[in-house]
Amino acid sequence: MRFTAGIFLFAASASFAANLDLSRASIVVRPGARPAPEQTAAKMLAEEVEKRTGLRLPVVTGFPVAGPAIVITGSANVPGWPRQPQPVHAGAEGYRLDIQSGDKPVVWIAANDARGALFGAGYLLRQLQWGQGKLALSDAAGIETAPRSPLRGHQLGYRTTANSWDAWSIPQFEQYIRDLAVFGSNAVENIPSQDNRPNPLMKIPRPEMNRAMSEICQRYGQEYWVWTPVTHDLNEKDKNAKQLAEFEEFFKGTPFLTGVFVPGGDPGDNPPELVLPFLAQVAEKMKAYHPNAKIWLSLQGFNEKKAEVVYQWIDKGVPAWFGGLVNGPSSPDIPKEYARVAGRVPIRLYPDVTHNKISQYEVPEWDQAYALTLGREAVNPRPFEYAAIHNRYAAMSNGFLSYSDGVHDDVNKVLWSSLAWDPQRPVRDVVIEYCRYFFSSENAEEAADLILALERNWNGSLVANGSVESTLRHWNDLEKRSPQLAGNWRWQMCLLRANYDAYVRRRLIQDTELEEKANTILAQVQKLGSEKAISAATATLNEAVDDPAGPELRARIIELCARLYQSIWLQTSVAKYNASGAERGAVLDFIDNPLNNRWWLEDEFAKVRKVPDEAAKAKRLLELARWEHPGEGSFYDNVGNLRKAPHVGHCEGEDCTPLFWWWDNGKSRARLSWQVTLWPKEMVYEGLDPKAAYVVRTTGYGQPLLRVDGEKIKPTVDGKEMADYKEFPVPASALQDGKLVLTWDKATGEENLNWRRHSRLAEVWLLKR
């Protein structure tokens, strides 16, 4: 026996068969009354096996006379059984799976509690080899394991904002909660009242669904939490009374409740001096119906002063109703918060696993073309990235309930649940189990590697990432060999991403080439005249409209979006599928967005045409043509675009992630370089002419923060808005070695500004005069 990461592995006996045939097995359970999760474990195992194999394994209370037995017990000692399980040493929610071979083989799933029995059944489901009429267990080792983190859950808020489950039935919610439990999840967080916009997709009234989710959680041994923001001004006593009455009505109608999470902000804008007394009033209402439930508070949106008020309140000793702090988007730094409250209250993580940009964990080194099309809430398997994030912070918390607004992040949820059970699990192994359970035991490894390839599709420059096309070819080949998965919504999501990624790449290559051709035409304005140059450049740019790249991929994407709406209610369009907002997974609405500056140039051409002087027209058209090509000895960087930032030094971490802006509901006609900003760690230029004069020009907005070789430089031109220039003369002394290093100070005095008005940097030119 050996121990690793909270898991005991037991070598199989010499008589163990490489493939134990379980097609004629019976599921044996304890006689008499059993806790609900233990009852659910047997039901879940039988039903999920039948879905995959067509085999209905009988559930009995005695050992079968013939055929294998799969025994599920939440007790180590069962009176009356002729055979007993081995002792279970694992802790709470843990289980032990043993395989006893021989004439009457037994697969034991033994636990010390009902939850452990259910999680053990989930583990078995993840290991089974299955096909139509076939069921086998090929794992040659038993296991004894318990979870590392006591809290492992996900927010499944039944509200209009969601991009899929707002249209679900109660059985669909139960299936999804079951699927998450199979991978070790033990908590669900609902949103019972926030966002009451009319929703034509909602089939079930919210009070009915709120109660149903609570009951499902009871059956599956899941903690049931709710997210309930306080958005009104707490100085208004009548509104306080109204919300307290709403809380009480919810508590009264909810059969089972574990925790209430109240965000300090996002949304909400009340000071902690008002929030904390109000939470005490909420707790008093809750106590009558759910005396063991706790209230948790996040410090989202709190500045240091507000956060310190809460910390000092904790220092004095917290009341019994207070569960702890939640750390999520816009919360204080996790290590600092942990250091401040460790040993006094627990910290629950609230990781954003659902968003790709303008979020807590933005995709690093993401190409702007993806940000413009797939956007904030696309199908987003990011297993390696989220594994690193989970393991970075897990030890500072009691676990997590993730922030999610739909099924598009399904892989990420399973990854977090699995690593919260065992942080040492290899990421690829988790994804293989995901594919074995949801797709097929035959193609599990191949499908897992292709899901990992989808994550790599998003790494770095899209034009330079030729593996995007290879990934699509492999998915297409696997699809041809797996026709039985055509209706599987998880499978459809993978195919959608593979096709969408390749389509965006083909369009990006085409749009980039067309803009270069258009700029070449504009550069000939002196020869052609302004009107001919504009007309020819416009016709060139419009080739992307008249003869777009990848029309067959576009048609496939539209087809897959339709199938996903039918299979799981994934809403990929506002107009077509009732998505709650353009940024809420509506990838179909941005499928034709230009991936070059066509829209911006069209608007600039319209302005030029209104200029009465031909010489002025020609001058502006030359500026447009040479925007990214300032001439020999000069340089241009679009700092947030990896493809166009050759002088931006490598940087890792939150401060090095580009910010992709969301303007005009995703249909901004602004220059693309202004729609992504970044503060580089440094920009390095070498091989410069020591005898020449240089000027640094930038776009962005806010404060002038440039340093050249460490020296703060005052601007000679100090534009304040995004399209305005700033210009900084380069000191001659800095050029003596032919090298320049540009850095930027952090802006000061912006602490009370909305983050959208903080100083930003978009473009940098080094111009040789």
Least confident of 183-187, 412-416, 651-655: 651-655
Residue 477 has pLDDT above 60, yes or no: yes
Q: Is 226 helix (H, G, I), strand (E, B) or coil?
A: strand
Q: Average model confidence (pLDDT) for the chain?
A: 94
Residue 13 has pLDDT above 70, yes or no: no
Q: Of the candidates 684, 726, 682, 670, which has an alpha carbon nearest to the alpha carbon of residue 703?
A: 726
* Cα 326 from Cα 349, distance rounded (Å): 6
pLDDT tens for each residue of 551-563: 999 999 999 999 9
- Please report which confidence band the pLDDT of residue 700 belongs to, taking 50, 70 and 90 as the band edges: very high
Averaged pLDDT, 239-251: 97
What pLDDT shows up at residue 524? Answer: 98
* Cα 522 from Cα 540, distance rounded (Å): 11
What pLDDT shows up at residue 101? Answer: 84
Cis peptide before 263 (omega within 30 of 0): no
Averaged pLDDT, 594-617: 98
Q: Using alpha carbons only, give the angle 619, 625, 631 rounded to the nearest 5 degrees.
A: 95
98 touches 10 (CB < 8 A): yes
pLDDT tens for each residue of 478-501: 999 999 999 999 999 999 999 999
Residue 651 has pLDDT above 80, yes or no: no
Averaged pLDDT, 17-38: 91
Averaged pLDDT, 691-710: 96
Q: Which residues of 139-162 are buried (b: 16+ CB within 10 A; e: fewer)?
A: beebbbbbbbbbbbbbbbbbbbbb
pLDDT tens for each residue of 46-83: 999 999 999 999 999 999 999 999 999 999 888 888 88
What pLDDT shows up at residue 751? Answer: 79
Residue 343 has pLDDT above 50, yes or no: yes
- Please report which confidence band the pLDDT of residue 429 belongs to, taking 50, 70 and 90 as the band edges: very high
Residue 7 has pLDDT above 60, yes or no: no
Strand stretches in 220-332, DSSP E: 223-227, 259-263, 294-298, 322-327
What pLDDT shows up at residue 141? Answer: 56
Which amino acid would we find at residue 226? V
Q: Is 373 helix (H, G, I), strand (E, B) or coil?
A: helix
Residue 5 has pLDDT above 70, yes or no: no
Residue 2 has pLDDT above 60, yes or no: no
Q: Of the candidates 395, 401, 570, 415, which has an alpha carbon nearest to the alpha carbon of residue 500?
A: 570
Residue 536 has pLDDT above 50, yes or no: yes
In this structure, what DSSP letter does residue 269 have? B
pLDDT tens for each residue of 27-37: 999 999 999 99
595 touches 372 (CB < 8 A): yes
Considering the chain, what percentage of its residues have pLDDT values greater than 90? 90
What pLDDT shows up at residue 20? Answer: 92
What pLDDT shows up at residue 178? Answer: 98
* Cα 305 from Cα 622, distance rounded (Å): 52
Averaged pLDDT, 598-615: 98
Q: Is 292 helix (H, G, I), strand (E, B) or coil?
A: coil
485 touches 440 (CB < 8 A): yes
CA-to-CA dists, residue 122 to 213, 426, 442, 504, 675, angstroms: 20, 19, 19, 38, 45
Considering the chain, what percentage of its residues have pLDDT values greater than 70? 97
Q: Is 166 helix (H, G, I), strand (E, B) or coil?
A: helix
Residue 1 has pLDDT above 50, yes or no: no
Residue 134 has pLDDT above 80, yes or no: yes
Averaged pLDDT, 575-592: 96
Averaged pLDDT, 421-445: 97
What pLDDT shows up at residue 140? Answer: 62
* Cα 289 from Cα 332, distance rounded (Å): 33
pLDDT tens for each residue of 154-192: 999 999 999 999 999 999 999 999 999 999 999 999 999
What is the distance between the terminal CA atoms of the chain, rounded to a whole angstrom? 74
* Cα 415 from Cα 516, distance rounded (Å): 42
Averaged pLDDT, 709-722: 95
pLDDT tens for each residue of 350-379: 999 999 999 999 999 999 999 999 999 999
Residue 271 has pLDDT above 70, yes or no: yes
Residue 3 has pLDDT above 50, yes or no: no
Averaged pLDDT, 337-359: 96
The residue with tokens 């500072």 is: 396
* Cα 670 from Cα 668, distance rounded (Å): 5
For residue 405, what are its two tokens? Answer: 């607004």
Which amino acid would we find at residue 318? V
